[in-house]
Amino acid sequence: MGNIVARARGGRAQLIDTRAGVIQTFGVDVQSAVLQGDEVVVQLTSGKTQIYRFNASGRTVFGPVRTF
């Protein structure tokens, strides 16, 4: 298992294992996605921010748990 990183591609956010590839694709109209601790902070093209939280497995996220 490699490191997990987040990125925005094609208007969606992706979680990527650096060895295994894409783990999860989520969100709509995503401009950027950044890992911060146990959350993924997603900036939307509308200017809103969404927070997704990691599941107990630590490999996938659920949410958004907050939008502001």
- Would you kindly state where each structural domain of the chain is located, as residue ranges? 4-67
Contacts within 8 Å (CB) and 24+ apart, 25-29: 26/52, 26/61, 27/52, 27/64
Task: State pLDDT tens for residues 16-66.
Answer: 999 999 999 999 999 999 999 999 999 999 999 999 999 998 899 999 999
Cα of 58 vs its chain's centroid, Å: 12
CATH 3.90.550 fits 4-67, yes or no: no
What is the reported pTM? Answer: 0.92
CA distance 19 to 68: 33
Amino acid at 3: N
Q: Within 10 A of 13 (CB to CB), how many other CB atoms are there?
A: 26
Give bridge partners of residue 6 from the DSSP assignment: 15
